[in-house]
Each structure stands twice: as C-alpha cells, then as structure tokens.
C-alpha cells in the first residue's frame, strides 16, 4: 500500500458512522446512475466519503476547494478507486485550480457538493449549460451558505441546495470542536511555540471562534475576542474572555487567529502596532481575513520558512502562517479536522446526497435545511458506535411537552 492508501485506511478506522452508511449503500445502491461533482479538501477523510458515494453506485468527479489543502498522495490513491476521478493537486496556481473545477463540471454532474460554493458559482456564471441536468447540491461551510442565501434572496439560485453546515450535527461538532482542535494543533506543530500563558486573539466569536477560544484557554492562553455582533461580544465577555477592538488587541496579542469569514480583519491599521514575534493565522474562509498584500508591499523584509512567512514591520517580526489560508488544512503539517468530527460531517453529506438525488426533482431553487431525520440518524449511529444509550420520551412526556394547558 502506498502512503495515500495508508492514510485512507487510518481514517476509515475512526469513521464508524460512514462505515455503517457504506454497508447500506453497498447493498441498496441508492446513488446508481448519479454523477456527483465535488469540490472539497482532498485528504483522507474526504476520500472515505468519496468511497462511500462510489459504493452507493455514484460516479464521482472531485477536485479541491483550496489551493493549499490537497494531499497529493491521497489524491492519487483516490484516482485509483473504481468510479472516481480526482483532479486536485496541492499548491496549484489559480488557473490550475479553476481548470480542475472545469474538469469536474465537464462530467455534467447531477449532484454538486461544495465547500465554499465554488462549483455552484461557476455553474451559475460560466457553465449555465449545466443547469438543465443538475438535480441539486449540498454545501459544507458557513460562508458558502451565506452566499447561497444571498443568491436565493435575489432569485438567482436555480436549483435546491442543502445547507449541511447549518444543522446542529455539523456545526456543533465540526465548526466548534473541529476548528478549535485542528487550528490549534496546526499552529503548534508549525511554529513549535507554546500557547500557555500567551495573549491569544480570536477574531469572531461564532461557532469556530468559540471552539478556538475555549481550547486556547484550556491550554492556558489569555484569550482576547474581537467581534462586531454585540450579542456575541457579550457572550464572549460572560464566557470569561477579554473583549476589545482589533486595534486595541493588536498591541497586546502574541497569536492572532481570524475566524470571521469576512474580509480585512487584520490590516495595515494593525500590523504596525504589533509586538515583535506576533504570529497570525486564519481559520475562517479565503485568504482575505489578513491583509497580506499590505504586508507584501510595506514590509521592510520578508523571510520564508515551511508554511511561515515572516515580515519585518517597523523592525518587528510578524509571521503569517499558510499564506493566510486555512491554518488547519493549508500548512504542510496541517491535517484538517479530527477524523471523528469529519465522520459526522461527511455522514451528513452522504445522506443528504442520497436525499437530494431522490427528492431534488420535486424541489425548487433555494436553500434547504438538513431534514431532521438525517440529523437524528447520524447522531444515533454515532452514539451506537460509542456504546452509549439514551432515554426515550414516554407518551406522557410527549403529551406534556405538546400541551399548553398542562403544568400551569
Ligand atoms: N477552518 C475550518 O476548517 C472551518 C470550519 C468551519 C467553518 N469555517 C469557516 O469559518 C468562518 C466562520 O464560521 P462560523 O461557523 O464560525 O460562522 P459564524 O457566522 O458563526 O461566526 C462568524 C463570526 O464572525 C463575526 N465577525 C464578522 N465580521 C467581523 C469583524 N470584522 N470582526 C470581528 N468579528 C467579525 C460575526 O459577527 C460572527 O459572530 C466561515 O468562513 C466558515 O466557512 C472554517
Ligand atoms: N473552501 C474554503 C472554505 C472554508 S473550509 C471550511 C470547511 O472545511 C471542512 N474541513 C475542515 N477540516 C477538514 C478535513 O480535514 N477534511 C475535509 N474537510 C474539512 C469543514 O467542514 C469546514 O466547514 C477555504 O478553503 O477557504
């Protein structure tokens, strides 16, 4: 076995929910006849999802959703799985990135699975010829769904898409635990510096930000949160963190991580205020949260190490990890979210794909929630794999909960 297959075997060991789904897919072939086009981070856990889809009868065409997150050995191993075509390569140019996306679209997928809406954007702009054959799609991440909702509000979204990110079984685990653990572990292994005792600035106190804040605090960091939403700022305050503006945090922070999905969070207004040795990373969306063009233009010097660019600003060294792209996946040592977390997210993707293939023809263009039954199935399968049983509502309790007259 080569290294890509070994990585896939390792991931499979810790993905019991997808393993159960795969068994059923192998027997029932619910995706027979489907062509699934995917743009996801191409690494071992994603490969297990792809195998599951193929086991269900789908033909899968996949590329990456970030130029730095592909693991080439896994991409090669995936390409050898029957029914699977993989076009992703690591550190590709922007042109190569979109060429690979076009190869996925050339296969005329009838289901799309996106992480950041790249395929759907391309279909609605440059590849409108494909709209006739597409049944529907699934979206993995917060920013992708925000954009899909914006499209839907303008009436521009022409097929149904399931908002996988927004369901509790995804974001309560993936965004909170996944981002918290994987961003921190990637920062630690890339920089070999300590978290304990440091001023650790988290920009954005959403699902990702709170996971990161909690875990950095758990390692002994003094956590500062920056926010624009007053409710979330107040939550961060009551959760025990220091809340302030980025301008104030800039002079104090030793490690900064952005998790906003927004643009221009750390900019030329902040870099000159920073301490010597400050470390900056992004765990949100694209590489626009940290203003790297400003650093490229204004820094007195630049030194590059493995996944670390150090800029000299006012004589102080400011280091940006992974070119400001997702720190948990885009550093050379970043492994992405823990396997068990992606087992849940990708079990949802597998079941939502099955649902969309079966029911999408009856739905109109728009953003749809993950059906409750799918969320509950994934939770039950995971609990069963852990050997955990839980109580069930009695008939009396169900009646009580549904009544407005009882208990008053
Ligand atoms: N690294 C990963 O693997 C990973 C995992 C899941 C999601 N994501 C991405 O991370 C981003 C955040 O996801 P989420 O689920 O936490 O979203 P969210 O909407 O729950 O949180 C984002 C938070 O950022 C805040 N924010 C926006 N602009 C800000 C600004 N200028 N300054 C400070 N705070 C600001 C918002 O008020 C919000 O509270 C998205 O882009 C999502 O796609 C990344
Ligand atoms: N494509 C964008 C979008 C953000 S990725 C954020 C998503 O990545 C997903 N993710 C995180 N870790 C992994 C992993 O190891 N494998 C596959 N997907 C992952 C996770 O579900 C989350 O919603 C970008 O690269 O900037």
Give pLDDT tens digits for 277-299.
999 999 998 899 999 999 999 99
Give the C-alpha distances (Å, rounded to integers) separating 360 from 62, 136, 137, 364: 21, 6, 9, 8
Percent of the chain with pLDDT over 70: 100
**Alpha-carbon gap, residue 180 to 210, rounded angstroms:** 8
| Closest C-alpha residue for ligand 2 atom 14 | 336
**Could you give phi then psi for residue 402, rounded to 5 degrees?**
-90, -5
| Topology match between the domains 3-170+337-386 and 176-330 | yes
What pLDDT is attached to residue 408?
61
Does 407 score more than 80 pLDDT?
no
The DSSP call for residue 195 is: -
> Residues 223, 200: contact at Cβ < 8 Å?
yes
Chain-centre distance for alpha carbon 285: 8
Ligand 2 nearest atom to the CA of residue 140, by list position: 23
Q: How many angstroms separate the alpha carbon of residue 259 from the centre of ligand 1?
A: 4
Residue range 270-278: average pLDDT?
98
Q: Which residue has the tokens 């494909």?
A: 130
pTM of the prediction? 0.96
Q: Is residue 47 lining ligand 2, measured as CB closer than 6 Å?
A: no
> Residues 172, 196: contact at Cβ < 8 Å?
no
Residue range 255-272: average pLDDT?
98
Q: How many angstroms separate the alpha carbon of residue 167 from the centre of ligand 2?
A: 16
Q: Which residues have a Cβ under 8 Å from the Cβ of 224 and sit 6 or more positions away?
A: 199, 200, 201, 202, 241, 242, 243, 244, 249, 252, 253
Per-residue pLDDT tens over the stretch 320-341: 999 999 999 999 999 999 999 9
Per-residue pLDDT tens over the stretch 395-406: 999 999 999 887
Q: Which residue has the tokens 């079966």?
A: 358
Does 160 score more than 80 pLDDT?
yes
**Alpha-carbon gap, residue 54 to 276, rounded angstroms:** 51
Question: Exposure of 330 by Cβ count < 10 A (0-12 exposed, 13-18 middle, 19+ buried)?
Answer: buried
Ligand 2 nearest atom to the CA of residue 325, by list position: 26
The DSSP call for residue 176 is: I
**Alpha-carbon gap, residue 221 to 212, rounded angstroms:** 11
Q: Is residue 265 lining ligand 1, measured as CB closer than 6 Å?
A: yes
Residue 326 CB neighbour total at 10 angstroms: 27
Ligand 1 nearest atom to the CA of residue 283, by list position: 1
Q: How many angstroms separate the alpha carbon of residue 40 from the centre of ligand 1?
A: 18
Where in the chain are the domains? 3-170+337-386, 176-330
Does 319 score more than 90 pLDDT?
yes
Q: Is residue 207 lining ligand 1, measured as CB closer than 6 Å?
A: yes
Beta strands in 197-336 (DSSP E): 199-203, 222-226, 242-243, 255-258, 278-282, 301-305, 308-313, 316-321
| Closest C-alpha residue for ligand 2 atom 4 | 285
Topology of domain 176-330, CATH: Rossmann fold (3.40.50)
Topology of domain 3-170+337-386, CATH: Rossmann fold (3.40.50)
Percent of the chain with pLDDT over 90: 98
Ligand 1 nearest atom to the CA of residue 141, by list position: 43
Mean per-residue pLDDT over the chain, rounded = 97
| Closest C-alpha residue for ligand 2 atom 6 | 141
């Amino acid at each position: 076995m080569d290294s890509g297959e070994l990585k896939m075997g390792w991931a499979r060991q810790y993905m019991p929910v997808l393993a159960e789904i795969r068994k059923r897919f192998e027997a029932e072939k619910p995706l027979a006849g489907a062509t699934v086009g995917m743009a996801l981070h191409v690494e071992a856990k994603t490969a297990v999802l792809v195998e599951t889809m193929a086991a269900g009868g789908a033909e899968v065409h996949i590329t990456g959703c970030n130029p730095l997150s592909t693991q080439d050995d896994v991409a090669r191993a995936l390409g050898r799985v029957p029914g699977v075509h993989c076009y992703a390569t690591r550190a590709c140019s922007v042109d190569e990135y979109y060429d690979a996306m076009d190869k996925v679209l050339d296969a005329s997928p009838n289901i799309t699975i996106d992480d950041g809406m790249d395929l759907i954007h391309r279909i609605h702009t440059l590849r409108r010829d494909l709209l006739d054959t597409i049944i529907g799609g699934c979206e993995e991440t917060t920013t992708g769904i925000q954009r899909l909702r914006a499209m839907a509000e303008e009436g521009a979204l022409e097929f149904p898409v399931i908002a996988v990110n927004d369901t509790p079984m995804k974001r309560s685990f993936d965004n909170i635990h996944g981002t918290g653990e994987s961003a921190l572990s990637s920062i630690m292994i890339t920089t070999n510096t300590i978290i304990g005792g440091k001023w650790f600035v988290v920009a954005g106190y959403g699902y990702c930000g709170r996971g990161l804040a909690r875990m950095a605090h758990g390692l002994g960091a003094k956590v500062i949160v920056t926010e624009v939403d007053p409710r979330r700022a107040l939550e961060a305050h009551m959760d025990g963190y220091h809340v302030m503006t980025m301008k104030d945090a800039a002079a104090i922070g030793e490690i900064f991580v952005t998790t906003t999905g927004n643009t221009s969070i750390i900019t030329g207004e902040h870099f000159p205020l920073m301490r010597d040795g400050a470390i900056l990373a992004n765990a949100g969306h694209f590489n626009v949260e940290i203003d790297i063009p400003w650093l490229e233009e204004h820094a007195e010097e630049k030194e590059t190490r493995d996944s670390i660019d150090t800029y000299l600003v006012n004589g102080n060294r400011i280091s940006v990890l992974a070119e400001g792209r997702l720190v948990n996946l885009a550093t050379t040592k970043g492994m992405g979210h823990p396997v068990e977390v992606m087992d849940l997210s990708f079990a949802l993707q597998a079941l939502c794909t099955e649902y969309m293939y079966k029911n999408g023809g009856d739905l109109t263009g728009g953003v749809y929630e993950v059906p409750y039954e799918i969320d509950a199935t994934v939770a039950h399968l995971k609990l069963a794999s852990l050997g955990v049983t839980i109580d069930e509502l009695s008939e009396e309790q169900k009646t009580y909960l549904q009544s407005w007259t009882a208990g008053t």
